[in-house]
Structure 1
Amino acid sequence: MTAHTSPAPEGRIAWLDLVRALSIVLVVLYHVGAGAGNLLLPADSTTAGQRWASLNLMLAPVRMPLFFMVSGMLAVRAVHRPWRAVVRPRLLDFAWPYLLWSALFAVTAWTRYAPLDPAGYMWDQVKVTLTAMGPYWFIAVLPVFFLVARCGRRRPRLLLAIAAAVYVAAWPLRALMLEVEAIPALAAEGMFRCTIYAVWYIAGYVLRDRIIARAERAHLAHGLVAAGLFLAVTLLRQEGGGGVLADRVLLAAATLSGLAAAVVLATRVVRIGAVARGGRWLGSRTLAIYLIHPLVINVAVVWYGHSALGEALRGSTLADVLLVPAVTLLAVLVAVAGHEIVARCGLGGVFAAPRRRRREDTGASVQR
């Protein structure tokens, strides 16, 4: 099996849909458990918030690499299409919702993050939006990764080698940029995100056929071993004490074993019809979930802390165990409902760049 040099064949792969759905659930869980866990479960009444944050940090080596690897695998055919066929779906349809929803987040999220300084918070959000450091940063970098893959499509192995070299150089590059006064810290951190995650997108693009073939030949035991290895390496990394180089080696090992576990186990569980249908259904709504869920979490955090329900559940075992999963589920369901409403009302400009439809009778066009 060789690296990709030509478009992939038609047809959906059920376990890829499932893995894509898993990646969005992990992102939402992270934003609830790590981003809001200590607010929903305050430290003065329970240690559960810290435990949820720790769990999500353990998943960090696999969460975004999984998302980007799947994105690269799903971009193979588009990379080989003519420019006119990809400018809108692969560039504009990401850039527009990124800017639109970043603006919406900026004008609403101050109620959670800076209730006493909304103007200052909005200005800060402008800066993080321009440097891909806001809540929707991964949508901003997808077009960049796509363009990189397209530029290197004639030499895929070389492209992957360069991406791997950039990954290795990401940490010293960030340190160097942070030492240069002329480079804003946000820009350095935004560049760091691109350099450490590009390799997983490129790997998904270049190695798509190999990943699919090996995943579908693997046995359940292989997935369980990979999951066990991921857990062991992650725990070892948390212990620390091995130095910077050891930490980065363990990070790469955790990512690779975590990706292997997710892919192999997905090929097994997707044989259950309901799981396959659920993965396909949720996987086709990932963009809406990515865009809407941060706003839902903000509302939940602002409301819950001062609500009668929040006071009643404060410090309870029920809240410790179920509150983070419940808010995660709520965010996903509200986002899915938003997706359905937008689809039924024809509000295409909410999740994609507005299109102009030409009227056949007059030649005029209307904005959608």
Structure 2
Amino acid sequence: MQLENGRANSVQPAAATRESWIDVAKGWGILLVVLGHALRGLQNVQLLPTEGWSHALDAWIYSFHMPLFFLLSGFFMEKAVQRPLDRALKDRAKTLLWPYLVWSVLQTLVQIRMSRYTSSSYDWTHMIGILWKPVMQFWFLYVLLLLSLLWLGLRRAGVPALALLAIALILHLTQEGSGLWAMWDLVRIHGVWFAAGAVLGVTPALVEKLRSASTASRLAVLGLGFAVTSWGAIAEADALLRSNILWAFPGVAASLALAMTLPQSWGLTRGLAWIGRLSLEIYLVHTLASATMRAILLHGLKIQDVTLHLVLASVAGVAIPVIMVLISRRFQLRHIFRFGAVA
């Protein structure tokens, strides 16, 4: 089967309308990201040990939350393939490259200034390094940009989506530890999830089948998936942190089932969807917000209560980016999060 412009494709693209369950899943995922980084921040300053319950929770979060995000990021990728090449590349630059560069520079500047108060050690060499070695959480945008360009080029060259998924799976399964470039290693680790999301995005019949499954079936996937990852986090925490597709799959499946099962009328569902639509902005700012809150509590107020730190750092990691988004909308501040657009 061919696309309108003649590019090969084995499946038809999904409807252009935004899927609300994707926003819910993104909201759930970004909350896990914020919590995971807040948790590791406390481990870095030795308020929490890297063992016991904190290690298990860390393994549970990191086993599936980034695979989930790569899968969701790939869902609308085929729409970019169908656009004119110059427009598709400009869109990637505006939504991925621009925020990566702007916020990598900003965060590096802040980290250099705050090194004396935080667990990090930054200097000016890190500023140059952002071209090939992303700082902290920004590796996600860097790898996502690489995957997007690879998918765009190979699909426009006529490689079927399902073939790319098979190639991505092979690359994932044949990992052999660290290679010459860490970003390529991450492409091999997470590319299979991006490709799976892209294939889901162009198979509306499969997505609809998943969404129309009985509530009992979705609840079973939800419960079993999180039960498996929870057991793994307790019994095999180190194994969960090795980016193994077998450990990630139950958590990803459970997260999708959760997003598809929560009633749309619930305030919780609407709240998660709203946070999900702001997931990029939260991702960009949350570590600065959480680190600032941790520094205030630890060095300013001399508070070492772990629960208070974890709660307030997580709340700050969501609330401060949201406040910044609202301010950017109020004053029409362009280029802060995406080039040429207000969040």
TM bin (shorter chain): 0.7 to 0.9
Which runs of 5 or more residues in structure 1 are unaligned? 178-182, 356-368
Match of 1:10 in 2: 16
Match of 1:279 in 2: 272
Match of 1:358 in 2: none
Out of 351, 360, 363, the residue aligned to residue 337 of structure 2 is 351
Which runs of 5 or more residues in structure 2 are unaligned? 1-8
Deviation of 1:70 after TM superposition, in Å, equals 0.6
Out of 156, 160, 164, the residue aligned to residue 165 of structure 2 is 160
Q: Give the percent of matched residue pairs that are identical in Structure 1 and Structure 2.
A: 24
Deviation of 1:114 after TM superposition, in Å, equals 5.3
Q: Specify the code of the residue in structure 2 equivalent to 1:91.
A: A
Cα distance in 2, alignment partners of residues 71 and 327 from structure 1:
26
Deviation of 1:247 after TM superposition, in Å, equals 9.3
C-alpha change, 1:247 and 1:48, in structure 2 (3 Å) is: closer
Larger radius of gyration: 1
Instruction: Say whether residues 1:194 and 2:196 are aligned partners.
Output: no
Match of 1:330 in 2: 316
Match of 1:252 in 2: 245
Instruction: Say whether residues 1:222 and 2:208 are aligned partners.
Output: no
CA contact (8 A) 1:21 1:286 kept: yes
Q: Specify the code of the residue in structure 2 equivalent to 1:37.
A: L
Match of 1:74 in 2: 76
CA contact (8 A) 1:167 1:197 kept: yes
Root-mean-square deviation (CA, aligned residues, Å) is 3.2
Cα distance in 2, alignment partners of residues 247 and 134 from structure 1:
17
TM-score normalised by L of structure 2: 0.83
C-alpha change, 1:143 and 1:323, in structure 2 (3 Å) is: same
Q: Specify the code of the residue in structure 2 equivalent to 1:336.
A: V
Write the mapping of 1:1-368 to structure 2, written as runs, cut at 5 A.
5-34=11-40, 36-38=41-43, 42-43=47-48, 51-113=53-115, 121-124=123-126, 126-127=128-129, 130-132=132-134, 134-153=136-155, 154=158, 155-170=160-175, 172=176, 174-175=177-178, 177=179, 183=180, 187=181, 189-208=182-201, 209=204, 212-226=207-221, 227-233=223-229, 235-236=231-232, 239-240=235-236, 251-308=244-301, 310-311=302-303, 314-315=304-305, 319-320=306-307, 322-354=308-340
Cα distance in 1, alignment partners of residues 269 and 294 from structure 2:
33
Q: What does the per-residue CA deviation read over 1:213-261, in whole Å, with 9 as the maximum and x for residues that have no partner?
A: 232123343344333344335534753599x8x997x932221111111
C-alpha change, 1:49 and 1:345, in structure 2 (3 Å) is: farther
C-alpha change, 1:122 and 1:211, in structure 2 (3 Å) is: farther
Deviation of 1:164 after TM superposition, in Å, equals 0.4
Aligned length: 327
Q: Specify the code of the residue in structure 2 equivalent to 1:228.
A: L
TM-score normalised by L of structure 1: 0.78
Cα distance in 1, alignment partners of residues 107 and 68 from structure 2:
25
C-alpha change, 1:272 and 1:52, in structure 2 (3 Å) is: farther
Q: Specify the code of the residue in structure 2 equivalent to 1:205.
A: A
